[in-house]
Amino acid sequence: MAGVLGAAMVLAVAPLVVILWQVILNGGAAMSWEFLSSVESSPRDPGGYLHGIVGTLYMTGIAATLSIPIGILAATYLVEYGRSGRFANTVRFFTDVMTGVPSIFVGLAIYALLVVSGGAGLGFGTFVGAAALATIMLPIVVRSSEEMLNLVPADLRTASAGLGARRWQTTVKVVLPAAAPGLITGSMLAIARGAGETAPLVLTALGARQVVTAFQGTPQADIGLLMTDGFSQPFEPGIERAWAGGLTLIIVTLLLTITARFIAARRKV
């Protein structure tokens, strides 16, 4: 029986091995300085993904700036104030539900809310792309931060209160620093998820063929968007660059994930 279960285990890990092997093999062959430093004008021309890399970093950066502080403060409310009250439980439940909202629906919703004239009418661009990513990252940050804040011993809070600290001082100067490594872990996982997300950006960032520095108003490029554009057309340079793009995304997300786990493993609350 152990043999059957062992075979299942092998079967479960096999896709990871195949994916890493394929991406490293093909992506490694296509990876070059040109890929990282130049801009392709179309999948059939030479060039690189500089615009996509800039766009992905830009949007993920804004999304992190939006979602991480809000997410950590929301988790602070749940743990320090709301506890198991009705409102806190409602927020908790819908945060869980929100982690399961399809990312393409988030794209549609941000499109309807921010892009079209019936909504905010901002048009496509960096900020609306970032808003979509932030919406996907927010529940992840809230959930993981709440878990981490719950691990902070009550003794620390009591000791702080005993020294005459106000509630907010206890939270900001004692609880949050004590949970900091865990909060960083959760935030890094959220960033990894955001950086690898492509579907909602089709409806919000739209894609671009040059480096875009505008905060809003001009469609923005993204590694994932360039990849889908490249590997869905029959041009060798575009397909090769898509593999290199895949390698880039895998390296970024796995580095973030592994670093996050490393920090979590060394955490001593």
Partner 1 sequence: MRTREPLGGHAPLRGSASTWSADPVFRALALACAASVLVVLAAMIVRTTVEAWPVFADQGLISFLTGDLWDPGQSRSEVTGTYGALPFLYGTLKSAAIGLMLALPLAIAVALFINEVAPRRLRGLLAYGVETLAMVPSVVYALVGLYFLRLEVWRPIGQAVADSPLGVLPMFSGPVTNSSYWAAGNVLAIMILPIMTAIIRETFAQTPREERMAAYAMGATPWEVMRRVILPRGVPGIVGGTMLGLGRALGETIAVAFLIGASQRMSSSIFFAGDSVTSLIYNTFQDARPEGVWALLAIGVTLFVITMIVNVIARLIIHQVGRTTGDASL
State which residue, 6 or 28, has the beta carbon closest to partner 1: 6
Between CA 132 and CA 175, with CA 253 as vertex, the angle to 5 degrees is 75
Binding mask 38-67 for partner 1 (x = CB under 8 A): ------------------------------
Q: Interface with partner 1 by CB under 8 A: which range of 33-41, 43-51, 210-218, 239-247? A: 239-247
Pick out residues in 180-199 that bind partner 1 (CB under 8 A): 189-190, 192-193, 195-199
Question: 137 near 194, Cβ under 8 Å?
Answer: yes
Q: Whole-number minimum distance, CB 1 to partner 1, in Å? A: 4
Between CA 50 and CA 54, with CA 217 as vertex, the angle to 5 degrees is 15
The yes or no reply on residue 1 touching partner 1 (CB under 8 A) is yes
Q: What are phi and psi of 38, to 5 degrees?
A: -125, 175
Q: Whole-number minimum distance, CB 154 to partner 1, in Å? A: 16
Pick out residues in 69-128 that bind partner 1 (CB under 8 A): 69-71, 73-74, 76-78, 80-82, 87-88, 90-91, 93-106, 108-110, 112-113, 116, 118-119
What is the distance in angstroms between the CA of the first residue and the CA of the last residue of the chain?
Answer: 40
Determine which residue in the list 35, 58, 127, 231 makes contact with partner 1, applying CB under 8 A.
231
Q: Whole-number minimum distance, CB 251 to partner 1, in Å? A: 11
Residues in the chain: 269
Q: For CA atoms 54, 57, 63, 66, give the dihedral sign.
A: negative
CA dist 74 and 92 (Å) reads: 10
State which residue, 77 or 216, has the beta carbon closest to partner 1: 77
Between CA 176 and CA 40, with CA 255 as vertex, the angle to 5 degrees is 120
Q: Whole-number minimum distance, CB 193 to partner 1, in Å? A: 7
The phi-psi region of residue 121 (left if phi > 0; otherwise alpha if psi is between -120 and 50; otherwise beta) is left
Pick out residues in 131-160 that bind partner 1 (CB under 8 A): 135, 138-140, 142-144, 147, 160
Outline where 214-235 has alpha helix (H).
223-231
Q: Whole-number minimum distance, CB 175 to partner 1, in Å? A: 12
CA dist 266 and 54 (Å) reads: 32
Q: Whole-number minimum distance, CB 123 to partner 1, in Å? A: 14
